[in-house]
Structure 1
Amino acid sequence: MDDEQTHRAAAVFDALGADYERAFGGSPAHHDSLRRLLDDLAPGSRVLDVGSGTGRPTAAALAAAGHRVLGVDVSPVMVALARRQVPEAEFQQADIHDMPLPEASFDAVCVYFSLLQMSRAEQSALLHRLVRALRPGGLCALATVPLDVEDVQGVFMGRDVRVTSFAAEDFTAAVREAGLTVTHQEGLLFTPAHPGAGPEPHLFVHGRRERSDPHPTA
């Protein structure tokens, strides 16, 4: 993301703080996704949590199971909350686009609802980088709001946001194109625990990096 996009995203989630966790942290599908990931992870796995928010439920569940978690978020308020709530994990305030992601450095990557303020090109490019950061056989758990929209103005929990997303089949195609074999996907409606919230579509996708190089050069 450019500096303006990063600033906007940080400002939104700085303002939301713990309200975001209260609204979305109880999602049964999110917890099911985490259980699926935990069932497949080897003990002591190294996991990257992109857009780690308050640290709950994702980093907390992974750390409680004995995994080594690095959470990354652009919001200093979210990072401060996560460090307090999940002290056994590591959290960095950073834009994931600017972070070095060495080849095959993680056993798993989580990307829960953290792509929606990026352009489609940025989302696709980041997915490629994240897959390269997985070891062969590494796992990826993703979630998004599957809508066919691009740079649309909206209101999220009372805050103005600009949102870009893919339709469900296009998002799954982007995940595959990035180098993952899709092992599970689930679409559903979820109503956040927030005044005035209505049901919204959520899509959870799990994948595995099967090859040592998802995009070999000729």
Structure 2
Amino acid sequence: MSEYAGAYDAIGSKLEDCVDQRSHLLSFLSNKVSKLLPHAPQTALDLGCGTGEPASAYLASLGHKVTGLDFSETMVLLARTKVPNPNATFFQADMLTWEPPKGIHYDLVLASHCLYNFSADEIRSLVFKFAEWVKEDGFVVVGSAVRVQLLEEGIIQFDENGWAEAVPNTFIGHEFLSTYAMADTWRKLLESTGMKFVELEQGYYNRAGAGPEERTLVSFIIMHKDKDGKATGI
């Protein structure tokens, strides 16, 4: 994903100014994710951590040990500044090639709104990595979104496997080719790893001051890896 790292370097702090995902993500973290990690300190991997807010900052504030990963050098530098909590550590890396330190697994692997710029094949590969990186009896959470207007206008066309790839997308003044899927496709893929489906939470959101064309359907899927490490899907 190095071809997009420069774009996110340029976006930098504008991410927080232009995209109001803080409220719905923070609500989900507070209402759902915090209950998955009841005994601090536990360990969390925040993939595509961006500026570190709100996910890494919130989890670290609960006393958990958080590792934040992002391919943008600027985002990582911002995260280190914005989240000075010693419980949080941030690294620049591409999750496609990154591996945790030998023997390290996480109680929670969180991938929130960070997979759009990968191909469907790359996403499949990553999801199986998530299932490897999480501890036995741990959780994987994937957050995704689809802009409603693009669905209604037929701009997003799903293939026979439920994926829409290389969809042109303008994001904070930069052009991207994005990959989308609906929640049932995400669930099917996540279950194919052997993890067990726990819960789907969905809602419609729009950032303050945005027009109806930016109304977005957001989905969060929670998966569990059984204690035996086999985690047979339902």
Q: CA RMSD in A?
A: 2.1
Matches within 5 A, 1:142-153: 142-146=142-146, 148=158, 149-153=164-168
Which protein shows a greater Rg? 2
Q: Retained in 1: the 8 A contact 2:22–2:53?
A: no
| Structure 1 residues 186-209: Cα deviation after superposition (integer angstroms, max 9, x where no partner) | 222221347666212211111111
Q: Retained in 2: the 8 A contact 1:113–1:145?
A: yes
Match of 1:96 in 2: 95
Please report the TM-score for the alignment, with normalisation by the length of structure 2: 0.82
Unpaired stretches in structure 1, ≥5 consecutive residues: 1-5
- Secondary structure of the structure 1 residue equivalent to 2:96: helix
Matches within 5 A, 1:16-55: 16-35=11-30, 36-41=32-37, 42-55=39-52
Match of 1:163 in 2: 178
Stretch moving more, 80-89 or 96-105: 96-105
In 1, distance between residues paired with 2:231 and 2:103? 12
| Structure 1 residues 37-94: Cα deviation after superposition (integer angstroms, max 9, x where no partner) | 1122021111100000000000000000000011000001100000001122100010
Match of 2:214 in 1: 198
Q: Retained in 2: the 8 A contact 1:135–1:212?
A: no
Unpaired stretches in structure 2, ≥5 consecutive residues: 147-155, 159-163
Matches within 5 A, 1:1-80: 6-35=1-30, 36-41=32-37, 42-80=39-77
Please report the TM-score for the alignment, with normalisation by the length of structure 1: 0.88
In 2, distance between residues paired with 1:25 and 1:191? 8
Percent identity among equivalent residues? 25
In 2, distance between residues paired with 1:132 and 1:214? 11
1:30 CA displacement: 1.1
